[in-house]
Chains A and B, each alone.
Chain A
Amino acid sequence: MSYRAKTQTPIIDTQCLIEALQECKVEYQQNGYNVVIQYGYRGIIYQLQGRQYMVEYYRDHRDEVELVGKIETIYTQKYQAKLESLRLEAQRAEELEKLRLQEELRKEQERLEQLKNEQKQKLIAQVKKQGYQVKESVKNGKIQLVCVRYV
């Protein structure tokens, strides 16, 4: 004796289900089975070897729906692939946003450096005009100008 427990697949994505049904329809028909799919007002009805199944649209995903064998497998694969694709898309968007912010920061720092440099050049010109000799040094990101004159 064996015991097999399996939970049924909750249907969240109707598009994935339609694709799975279409794919299975071709394969079942190739193997001589009769498959009919109808898209009704309330849901998708499909018949396999005379037995009728229905999956309702907009079904609350907490409900569980019985899907027949291969259809369930293909649906699950498609849905997992869709989730993965969405996850990758979100990751890419996040990376792009990060790169955009880094670029913005780099430009801002560049602009600040340019302003500081212009300010320094103006100061050097002015102190020289006032008769000072200038010695420049950089320490911990700070620029120091030591200006000396003898009177």
Chain B
Amino acid sequence: MQEEKIIITINEDGSMEVKSEGIKGEACINEIESLLQDIAQIKSGKKTDEYYQKVLTKNTITLNKKH
């Protein structure tokens, strides 16, 4: 069985950083977007080198609170 991980950090000012690990391909972005759709608005996203590999292992997104 493969481990899929999402690490969410809520900063002191209420902004969040979300990082996924071990989720393959575009699925990692879909997973995070689906998680955040009703909670926060994504401000920026950063695809790591691993994203472009066949098997995605890490992806980071920074977001703002949804007002």
Which residues of A are interface residues toward B (Cβ below 8 A)? 112, 115-116, 119-120, 122-123, 126-127, 130, 132, 141-151
Partner of A145, one of B3, B8, B34, B40: B8
Most buried by A among B1, B8, B39: B8
Q: Cβ of B12 < 8 Å from any Cβ of A?
A: yes
Distance of A142 Cα from B11 Cα, bound (Å): 5
The one of A112, A116, A130, A146 that contacts B31, using a Cβ cutoff of 8 Å? A130
**Shortest beta-carbon contacts, A-B, top 6:** A143-B10, A145-B8, A150-B1, A147-B6, A141-B12, A122-B39
The residue from A116, A119, A142, A151 contacting B1, defined by CB atoms under 8 A apart: A151
Q: A-facing mask of B1-34, CB < 8 A → 1, else 0?
A: 1111111111111101000000000000001001
Give the residues in chain A near B65, CB-CB below 8 Å.
115, 119
Please indicate the chain B residues that have their CB under 8 angstroms from the CB of A122 in the complex: 38-39
CB neighbours (8 Å) of B5 from chain A are 146-148
Cβ contacts A to B, 19 pairs, < 8 Å: A116-B14, A119-B39, A123-B35, A123-B39, A126-B39, A132-B6, A141-B12, A142-B10, A142-B11, A143-B9, A145-B7, A145-B9, A146-B5, A147-B7, A147-B8, A149-B3, A149-B4, A150-B3, A151-B2
